[in-house]
Amino acid sequence: MEFTPHPGFVLWFTGLSGAGKTTLARAVEAELRARAMRVEVLDGDIVRQQLTRDLGFSKEDRDQNILRVGFVAQLLSRNQVAVLAAFISPYRDTRARVRAQTTHFIEVFVDAPLEVCAARDTKGLYARALAGEILHFTGISDPYEAPEAPEIHLRTDQLTVTECVQIILSALEARRLLPPAR
């Protein structure tokens, strides 16, 4: 299979649990694959299995988790892979550290109000967090530091997945990171 050369980049999806990070990453992945690009999706479920099984959810452990992902994202993106990273990544300074070591870092703020995320409760986690069964739950018992100047800001309670994907693809196009569809 032949691949379209492109410079490689990291689309970093940050936001609350249930905001739609992985859903958007997977939808963008399909679009990029249709353009014969090399793509890897990294998300919490994959990474905490393979790379960071030892880590919990304290600030220190979350930071370690994100920095390890940042290292992998850097390795991949500098080899012309499009990396779609979907992590709550609640701390601004940690995201900034990952940004600093990546050439094309595009922060995507996947934004939906806490009430909306809690109502969706895709994984049943909010119910458990509100019942006090999960410590360190972002938005409930742990902080979420929203991006101050993300490259892309998506209100997923107001936009459809397709609309969000279009916005992301346009942003990639504007940066000449997207080859034409075949």
157 binds its own copies (CB under 8 A): no
**What does the DSSP 8-state code read for residue 131?**
T
Sheet strand arrangement including 105-111? 39-43, 82-86, 9-14, 105-111, 152-155
Binding part of the chain for its own copies, among 12-20, 46-54, 127-135, 173-181 by CB under 8 A, reads: 46-54
Position 122 contacts its own copies (CB under 8 A): no
Under rule CB under 8 A, residue 79 binds its own copies:
yes
The DSSP bridge pattern shows strands 9-14 and 105-111 to be: parallel
Among 17, 89, 141, 170, the active-site one is 89
Helical segments of 38-149, H only? 44-50, 59-77, 92-100, 114-120, 125-130
Q: How near is the Cβ of 52 to its own copies at its closest, in Å? A: 9
Annotation says 170 is catalytic? no
End-to-end CA distance of the chain: 14
Shortest distance, CB of residue 162 to its own copies, whole angstroms?
Answer: 27
CB 97 to its own copies: min, Å: 12
Q: Is 100 exposed, middle or buried (0-12, 13-18, 19+ CB in 10 A)?
A: exposed
Active site residues: 89
Q: Which residues bind its own copies (CB under 8 A)?
A: 2-3, 5, 38, 40, 50-51, 53-54, 64, 67-68, 71-72, 75-76, 79-81
